[in-house]
């Protein structure tokens, strides 16, 4: 890869930590040298899905070798609470056990191993209560963590009854474990006057600061949270790092010693929430051409025992039910069911994938019902690109003003040879009784901005030192996605200096206050603009000085390649900085950004919640073994709209990674709870995520040539989450292969998601039975 020093932005550049990552020198929270006297904590977990806790006998825990102390809910100095929006999420269970795996006590010992061993020795005296493990049943009983949501436009009921064709049914999609490689971890260091410093692997340092302050009953100004990087977050460290930060801090405050709490994989998976599994009831009416006329949908999500982020996740699901398609007459309900399982949370896409997947399922069914090509039906339902047309406004009232669905998907259709390959697959399937191939081309439209409007703000802080080097702080966190690299590029560009002169400091609540989570794919959009604001202020001050020193107009001053020049006059950037210092010019600046033009009425579910849309399309080709249900992805062609990409190398990595992660969700990752409500898939031995060997032999990723219509940082577009939805093409290619068993069949191919080999085999057998009928 070309490390382009001359062109800091809009150019390929290696990840700022790439060398440290591959050489093992990158410092993660667990690698921070431990202070003398550091103790290690582990959590004691509930063995019951639902029970009243009468008494807990901790004598064996306390007597276990190396144990220093054990803390329960009663020992928390402040609030026993870590719910991000609704306060229904205790740090430690108090009185009632709400899921198997819920933390009940903290044990602190001389070593990590000794703490973990002791944590198993508690004796629970409980009254077992009936556990609700089924989201459909919970919703039917009115067990919801927040009130139901309802979005309505037009008259779905009338359009459904008058439609020439109608399909009704139920479907569901499974959840997904974030499976960040670095597990949850926090290292709490007590300071003087009751202050607390916490190193934590988190997407949301400010939220950790506030949760710790409340738990310790101190002010937020007494808590400092620092995160240099995460080994992945994927949404799982947006709110749910709080439990770990609070527990470590509570123990550290009580013992006045540094305490580290590092979850091992099993505990991490048993304790923390995942992507919500969704349960759908749908009723769709359409015409002969496959155009949707009316749609009524109810979505039930598994919230788990508490609300966490289930509300905004459901809102995003409702707002992405359209994916790329105009919905004239719709009625959508969303229910967040309370179950006695982990509290589900953010996961890449944040409900968007669960909403959009259903409409893609319907597009596929409509095409099969009418005997049409699924991509033809899809493009026939696309939003109208003409902004004066009614068919360009989303069901929540936002016009799709920057619609490039047609040119983008047509480009992929042509370049990836959809027609030729479809014909070749049909020919292959005719002569191949056991192995069947399939393909699918699916589009993506994804709204960019937090759907909670006030979260769309960010801060930056830029320091220029006297040697001309620059230190940058901003509110975003690095989880591997490359935000620090992009931020560094933005600052280097504004100051006309090479990237090696810029360093991005660890994210620190003491540097930038009241930050939003690095989430909703907005990290670079928000923080990039904030640091640009700071850098421009500094450049303006230096420009005035350069104009004065050179006797030329400010408009003629150029900052480029570590030199400041106008006409014949030039001066190294570092020299100009020293001159500025001697003239007592301020050499550091803050910056701020708030996304303009967005608004949202949550009661009506109407507004313009997104700043713009990101688009993409994918064509996947698979082969399925109809005797075993095994399958393989043969080829994937991905096209993604990153606007003017700040860094095409990083964006390509995000597109490929998101796609493979989405493929894992829809085809191999399966969460299973046993009849007692214990998650039995809590380690890689039983929970299968995609590996390198699952990448297709033909794997083409391209960025669509586009410029963001919205005025974003260098007109780039967000890239973190939307590519996950490109994996829909894999699921529907598998469905297409199964349909190949009986090409004349005009019904629903009954494939459930995830399409594991078992699910595929079930669908194959059902399809085979249609042959003999």
Positions marked active-site: 721
Q: Which window, 314-322, 347-355, 629-637, 651-659, contacts ligand MOS (CB under 6 A)?
A: 347-355
Binding mask 290-319 for ligand MOS (x = CB under 6 A): ------------------------------
- Which single residue is written with the structure tokens 């349960």? 279
- Phi/psi of residue 482, nearest 5 degrees: 95, 20
Among 348, 369, 380, 484, binds ligand MTE (CB under 6 A): 348
Q: Is 312 in the site for ligand LUZ (CB under 6 A)?
A: yes
Gap between the Cα atoms of 408 and 709, Å rounded: 15
For the chain, give percent helix, strand, coil, nearest 5. Answer: 35, 25, 40
Residues within window 717-756 making contact with ligand MOS, judged by CB under 6 A? 721
Q: How far is CA 119 from CA 57, 58, 59, 109, 254, in A?
A: 12, 9, 11, 10, 18
Beta carbon nearer to ligand MOS, 335 or 346? 346
CA distances from 178 to 82, 191, 348, 695 (A): 20, 33, 8, 19
Look up residue 13 and give its two tokens.
Answer: 């550049």
516 phi, psi to nearest 5 deg: -90, 165
By CB under 6 A, tell whether 350 contacts ligand MOS: yes
Question: From its phi and psi, is residue 757 left (phi > 0), alpha (psi between -120 and 50) or beta?
Answer: alpha
Q: How far is the CB of 235 from ligand MOS (least distance, A)?
A: 3
Selected binder of ligand MTE within 84, 233, 311, 353 (CB under 6 A) = 233
CB-nearer residue toward ligand MOS: 181 or 427: 181
Q: Helix/strand/coil (H, E, C) string of 675-727?
A: CCCCECCCCCCCCCCCCHHHCCCEEEEEECCCCCCCCCHHHECCCCCHHHHHH
524 binds ligand MTE (CB under 6 A): yes
CB 109 within 8 A of CB 63: no
Closer CB to ligand MOS, residue 207 or residue 238?
238
CA distance 245 to 243: 6
Nearest in space to 268 (alpha carbons), one of 449, 16, 71, 45 = 45
| Among ligand MTE, ligand MOS, ligand LUZ, none, residue 450 binds (CB under 5-8 Å by kind) | ligand LUZ
Whether the ω angle into residue 41 lies within 30 degrees of 0, i.e. cis, is no
Interacting residues with ligand LUZ between 328 and 347 (CB under 6 A): 346
Applying CB under 6 A, which part among 64-72, 243-251, 446-454, 670-678 lies near ligand LUZ? 446-454
Number of residues in contact with ligand MOS, rule: CB under 6 A?
10
Site for ligand MTE in 714-733 (CB under 6 A): 718, 720-721
Instruction: Give the Å distances, CA to CA, from 748 to 204, 375, 729.
Output: 43, 16, 17
Give the CB-nearest residue to ligand MOS. Answer: 235
CA nearest to 364, candidates 353, 354, 373, 352: 373
Instruction: Report the residue number whose CB is nearest to ligand MTE.
Output: 523
| Site for ligand LUZ contains 520 (CB under 6 A) | yes
Is there a contact between 278 and 218 (Cβ–Cβ < 8 Å)? Answer: no
> For residues 656 and 24, what is the distance between their CA atoms, to the nearest angstrom?
23
Note whether 176 binds ligand MOS by CB under 6 A.
no
Q: Of residues 238, 308, 402, 669, which one binds ligand MOS by CB under 6 A?
A: 238
Scanning 49-57, 220-228, 233-241, 493-501 for contacts with ligand MTE by CB under 6 A, the matching segment is 233-241
Binding status of residue 97 toward ligand MOS by CB under 6 A: no
Site residues (CB under 6 A) for ligand MOS, limited to 465-524: 519-520
Q: What's phi and psi for 258, nearest 5 deg?
A: -65, 135
Return the closest-CA partner of residue 623 out of 765, 438, 419, 416.
Answer: 438
Closest contact distance (angstroms) between CB of 547 and ligand LUZ is 44
Nearest distance, CB of residue 725 and ligand MOS, angstroms? 13
Does 704 contact ligand LUZ by CB under 6 A? no
Name 594's bridge partners.
457
522 binds, among ligand MTE, ligand LUZ, ligand MOS, none (CB under 5 to 8 A by kind): ligand MTE
Cα–chain center distance at 628: 33
In whole angstroms, how close is the CB of 346 to ligand LUZ at the nearest point? 5
- Is residue 232 part of the contact set for ligand MTE (CB under 6 A)? yes
Phi, psi of 232 (to 5 degrees): 95, 145
Binding segment for ligand MTE among 16-24, 272-280, 461-469, 521-529 (CB under 6 A)? 521-529
CB of 434 to ligand LUZ, least distance (A): 44
d(CA 49, CA 253): 30
State whether residue 657 is helix, strand or coil.
Answer: helix
Stretch that binds ligand LUZ, among 157-165, 516-524, 621-629, 672-680 (CB under 6 A): 516-524
Question: Least separation, in Å, of the C-beta of 91 and ligand MTE?
Answer: 24
CB 557 within 8 A of CB 516: no
Site residues (CB under 6 A) for ligand MOS, limited to 572-611: none
Helix (H) or strand (E) holding 461: strand 457-464
Which partner from the list ligand MTE, ligand MOS, ligand LUZ, none does 483 bind, CB cut-off 5 to 8 Å by kind? Answer: ligand MTE
d(CA 610, CA 186): 33
Binding track, positions 461-500, relative to ligand MTE; x by CB under 6 A: ---------------x--xxx-x-----------------
Contact between 522 and ligand MTE by CB under 6 A: the answer reads: yes
Residue 235 engages ligand MOS in binding (rule: CB under 6 A): yes
Of the candidate residues 29, 184, 209, 451, the single one contacting ligand LUZ (CB under 6 A): 451
Binding residue for ligand MOS, selected from 276, 348, 445, 714, defined by CB under 6 A: 348
Shortest spacing between CB 464 and ligand LUZ, in angstroms? 33
Return the SS3 of 14. Answer: coil
452 touches ligand LUZ by CB under 6 A: yes
Q: Report if residue 448 touches ligand LUZ, rule: CB under 6 A.
A: no
Phi-psi region of 520 (alpha: psi -120 to 50; beta: other; left: phi over 0): left
Q: How far apart are CA 343 and CA 307, in angstroms?
A: 7
Closest by Cα among 256, 271, 253, 251 to 71:
251
Residue 303 C-beta: closest distance to ligand LUZ, Å: 14
- Nearer to ligand LUZ by Cβ, of 451 and 701: the residue is 451
Beta bridge partners of 531: none
The first and second tokens of residue 483, run together, are: 């935000």
And the tokens for 80? 């026993």
Q: Using an 8 Å Cβ cutoff, are 488 and 499 in contact? A: yes
Q: For 138, phi and psi rounded to 5 degrees?
A: -60, -45
How far apart are CB 517 and ligand MOS at their closest, in Å? 7
Does 356 help bind ligand LUZ (rule: CB under 6 A)? no
Stretch binding ligand MTE (CB under 6 A), from 67-75, 397-405, 513-521, 623-631:
513-521
Distance in Å, CB of 181 to ligand MTE, minimum? 9
Across 626-721, the runs of DSSP E, i.e. the strands, are 631-640, 698-703
Task: Write out the residues near ligand MOS by the rule CB under 6 A.
Answer: 203, 235, 238, 346-348, 350, 519-520, 721
Residues found near ligand LUZ in the complex (CB under 6 A): 238, 309, 312, 316, 346, 350, 450-452, 455, 517, 519-520
């Amino acid at each position: 890869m070309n490390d382009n020093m001359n062109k800091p932005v809009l150019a390929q550049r290696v990840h700022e930590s790439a060398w440290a990552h591959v050489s093992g020198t990158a410092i993660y929270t667990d690698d921070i040298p431990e202070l003398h006297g550091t103790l290690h904590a582990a959590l004691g977990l509930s063995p019951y899905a639902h029970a009243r806790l009468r008494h807990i006998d901790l004598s064996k825990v306390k007597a276990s070798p190396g144990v220093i102390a054990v803390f329960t809910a009663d020992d928390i100095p402040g609030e026993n609470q870590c719910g991000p929006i609704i306060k229904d999420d205790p740090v430690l269970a108090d009185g009632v056990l709400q899921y198997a795996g819920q933390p009940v006590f903290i044990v602190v010992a001389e070593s990590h191993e000794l703490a973990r061993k002791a944590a198993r020795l508690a004796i629970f005296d409980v009254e077992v209560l009936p556990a609700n493990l089924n989201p459909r049943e919970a919703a039917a009983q009115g067990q919801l963590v927040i009130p139901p949501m309802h979005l309505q436009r037009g008259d779905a009921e009338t359009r459904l009854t008058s439609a020439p064709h109608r399909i009704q049914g139920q479907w569901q999609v499974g959840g997904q474990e974030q499976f960040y490689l670095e597990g949850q971890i926090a290292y709490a260091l007590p300071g003087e006057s009751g202050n607390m410093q916490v190193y934590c692997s988190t997407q949301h340092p400010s939220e950790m600061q506030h949760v710790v302050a409340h738990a310790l009953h101190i002010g937020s100004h007494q808590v400092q949270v620092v995160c240099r990087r995460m080994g992945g977050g994927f949404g799982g460290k947006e709110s749910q790092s709080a439990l770990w930060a609070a527990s470590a801090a509570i123990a550290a405050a009580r013992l006045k010693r540094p305490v580290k709490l590092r979850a091992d994989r099993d505990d991490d998976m048993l304790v923390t929430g995942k992507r919500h599994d969704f349960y759908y009831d749908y009723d769709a009416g359409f015409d002969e051409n496959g155009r949707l006329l009316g749609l009524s949908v109810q979505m039930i999500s598994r919230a788990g025992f508490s609300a966490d982020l289930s509300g905004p996740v459901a809102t995003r699901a409702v707002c992405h039910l359209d994916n790329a398609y105009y919905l004239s007459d719709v009625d959508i309900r969303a229910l967040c069911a309370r179950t006695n399982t982990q509290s589900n949370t953010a996961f890449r896409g944040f409900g968007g994938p669960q909403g959009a997947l259903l409409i893609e399922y319907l597009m596929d069914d409509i095409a099969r019902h009418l005997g049409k090509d699924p991509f033809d039906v899809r493009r026939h339902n696309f939003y109208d690109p003409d902004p004066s047309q009614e068919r360009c406004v989303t069901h929540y009232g936002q016009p799709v003003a920057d619609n490039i669905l047609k040119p983008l998907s047509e480009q992929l259709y042509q370049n990836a040879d959809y027609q030729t390959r479809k014909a070749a697959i049909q020919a292959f399937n005719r002569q191949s009784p056991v192995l069947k191939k399939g393909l699918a081309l699916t589009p993506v439209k994804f709204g960019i901005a937090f759907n909670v409007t006030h979260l769309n703000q960010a801060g930056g802080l830029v320091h220029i030192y006297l040697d001309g080097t620059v230190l940058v702080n901003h509110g975003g966190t690095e989880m591997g996605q490359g935000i620090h690299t992009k931020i560094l590029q933005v600052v280097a560009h504004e100051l006309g200096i090479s990237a090696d002169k810029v360093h991005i400091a660890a994210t620190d609540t003491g540097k930038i206050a009241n930050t939003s989570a690095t989430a909703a794919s907005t990290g670079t959009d928000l923080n990039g603009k904030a640091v640009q604001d700071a850098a421009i202020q500094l450049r303006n001050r230096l420009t005035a000085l350069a104009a004065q020193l050179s006797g030329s107009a400010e408009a003629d001053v150029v900052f480029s390649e570590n030199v400041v020049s106008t006409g014949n006059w030039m001066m190294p950037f570092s020299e100009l900085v020293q001159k500025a210092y001697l003239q007592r010019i301020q050499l550091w600046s803050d910056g701020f950004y708030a996304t303009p033009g967005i608004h949202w009425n949550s009661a009506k579910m109407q507004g313009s919640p997104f700043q713009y849309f990101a688009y993409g399309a994918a064509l996947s080709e698979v082969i399925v073994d109809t005797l075993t249900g095994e399958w393989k992805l043969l080829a994937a062609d991905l096209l993604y709209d990153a606007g003017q990409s700040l860094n095409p190398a990083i964006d390509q990595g995000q597109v490929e990674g998101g796609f493979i992660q989405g493929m894992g969700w829809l085809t191999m990752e399966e969460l299973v709870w046993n009849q007692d409500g214990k998650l039995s898939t809590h380690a890689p031995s039983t929970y299968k995520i995609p590996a390198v060997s699952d990448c297709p032999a033909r794997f083409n990723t391209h960025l669509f040539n586009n410029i963001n219509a919205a005025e974003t940082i260098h007109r780039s577009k967000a890239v973190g989450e939307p590519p996950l939805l490109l994996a829909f093409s894999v699921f529907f290619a598998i469905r297409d292969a199964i349909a190949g068993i009986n090409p004349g069949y005009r019904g629903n191919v009954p494939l459930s998601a995830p399409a594991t080999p078992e699910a595929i085999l079930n669908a194959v057998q059902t399809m085979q039975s249609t042959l003999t009928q």
